[in-house]
Structures are given as structure tokens and as C-alpha cells.
């Protein structure tokens, strides 16, 4: 009887350990990066100001001319103005511009 209980407990432990390991791996490779990405996107939205050049999730490039609590107005080429929700910002092109390469040094 005792050996049967020991076998059952080790069998249960043998299936429980891999499941816990899978959950830990899932957390570090799937959930944690998404939370960090969401936090970075929220900070990006909070840091927007007039004059920033942005790219929306739809791929529209423009410059912010007006900001409200939940929306912003961007001016695209040709003077056209479009209002978007703040969550539609994909990236801040003002900060994403690559630094200029100094070609004078050989």
C-alpha cells in the first residue's frame, strides 16, 4: 500500500514539474515582453507634443499640430489635416531618425 502511494506521488510530481516549467517559460517569453511593450507605448503617447513627427499604425506620416486628451490632429503632405486617436501612434519619427553620419573622417 505504501509503495503505491509513493508511486502515485512521484508520478504526480513528474507531471507537475514540466507544467510549472512551461508556465515559467511562457511568462518570460510571451507575457513579460508584451507588458513591457505596452508600457513603452503608453509612455510614447504621453510624451507626444505639438511639432512631433509621427507614424500612425495605418502608415500615415505627419506632424502633430493639435493635441487633445484622447485625439491629435496631424498635418500630412499638402497641408491636409487628419484627426486620429492617440492609440493610433506607431512610432515617434522625431526620435527615430537615425543620426547623421560624419563623412569627413576617413
User: Does 4 have pLDDT greater than 60?
Assistant: no
Note whether 57 and 87 are same-domain residues: yes
Note whether 57 and 95 are same-domain residues: yes
Number of domains in the chain: 2
User: Does 36 have pLDDT greater than 70?
Assistant: yes
Structural domain for 72, as ranges: 49-99
Q: List pLDDT tens digits, range 66-104.
A: 999 899 999 999 899 999 998 899 887 777 655 555 566
Note whether 16 and 28 are same-domain residues: yes
Note whether 31 and 65 are same-domain residues: no
3-state secondary structure the chain: CHHHHHHHHHHHHHHHHHHHHHHHHHHHHHHHHHHHHHHHHHHHHHCCCCCCEEEECCCCEEEEEEECCCEEEEECHHHCEEEEEHHHEEEEHHHHCCCCCCCCCC
Note whether 58 and 35 are same-domain residues: no
Note whether 55 and 87 are same-domain residues: yes
Amino acid at each position: 500500500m505504501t509503495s503505491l502511494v509513493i508511486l502515485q506521488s512521484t508520478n504526480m510530481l513528474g507531471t507537475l514539474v514540466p507544467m510549472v516549467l512551461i508556465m515559467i517559460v511562457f511568462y518570460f517569453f510571451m507575457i513579460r515582453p508584451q507588458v513591457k511593450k505596452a508600457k513603452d507605448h503608453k509612455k510614447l503617447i504621453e510624451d507626444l507634443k505639438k511639432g512631433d513627427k509621427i507614424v500612425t499604425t495605418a502608415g500615415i506620416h505627419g506632424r502633430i499640430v493639435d493635441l487633445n486628451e484622447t485625439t491629435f490632429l496631424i498635418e500630412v503632405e499638402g497641408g491636409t489635416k487628419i484627426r486620429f486617436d492617440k492609440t493610433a501612434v506607431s512610432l515617434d519619427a522625431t526620435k527615430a531618425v537615425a543620426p547623421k553620419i560624419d563623412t569627413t573622417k576617413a
